[in-house]
Amino acid sequence: MQLTDENFEKEILNSSKPVLVDFFATWCGPCSVLQPILEKISEDLEGKFILAKANIDEVPVTSQKFGINVIPTIILFKNGKNVSGFSGLRPEGIIKEWLENMLAEDSEKLIKEYEGYAKSRGFKLNPDKEITARIIKGLLGNEKKHGKRFCPCRRVTGNEEEDLKNVCPCAYHLEEIEKNGHCLCQLFVNQRE
């Protein structure tokens, strides 16, 4: 995908996948070496991200906005936000490892985070992977929509003080696990279950 000053924001914000933007110039030697490396990685990781190119000579406004003063510069956007990047030429293996880490599913990271939390408190995540995946999807959806990982089983009211009690792990989960063997949404369950 070729980016311009006119379409940059629209393409980045409307993308359902992460977008890796290669800021380059046709006269830049290292850029010419990096482009086939990025294309190969894009093929290897097919479907996990979109590779976009932004010629700095043709995107002066965008280049200035992102402070591009060294090329090549690579920026990874997820959900329309600049999440990471680097400048200069790097070996294929280093770039691929960095990108794979950056593209690791948010749900996988969140599951690991909650597994650690549960273990440290003497309970565990629900062993039913479908239930856990559904709840994690709801948490991530709420984070995207509301800016916080509100429990998907509780209503977001707009009252900030009350809603903060519903950020997972919510204020009620310990009591619910003790009383019912699981929290309301059933993400966390007692060790014995």
Catalytic residue among 31, 151, 183, 185: 31
185 a catalytic residue: no
Residues ≥6 apart with Cβ < 8 Å to 184: 151, 153, 154, 170, 172, 173, 176
Q: What are phi and psi of 20, to 5 degrees?
A: -100, 115
Please list the residues that pair with 52 across neighbouring strands.
21
* Cβ-count burial 89-125 (b if 16+ within 10 Å, e if not): ebeeeebbebbeeebeebeeebbeebeeebeeeebbb
The secondary structure element, H or E, covering residue 61 is helix 60-65
Task: Answer yes or no: 31 catalytic.
Answer: yes
Is there a contact between 87 and 33 (Cβ–Cβ < 8 Å)?
no
Token digits for 187? 């993400």
Kindly tell me the burial class for residue 14, based on how many C-beta atoms sit within 10 Å of its own C-beta (0-12, 13-18, 19 or more): exposed
Q: Distance (Å, rounded) from C-alpha 27 to C-alpha 114? A: 48
Angle value at C-alpha 115, between 77 and 96, nearest 5 degrees: 35
Active site positions, annotated: 28, 31
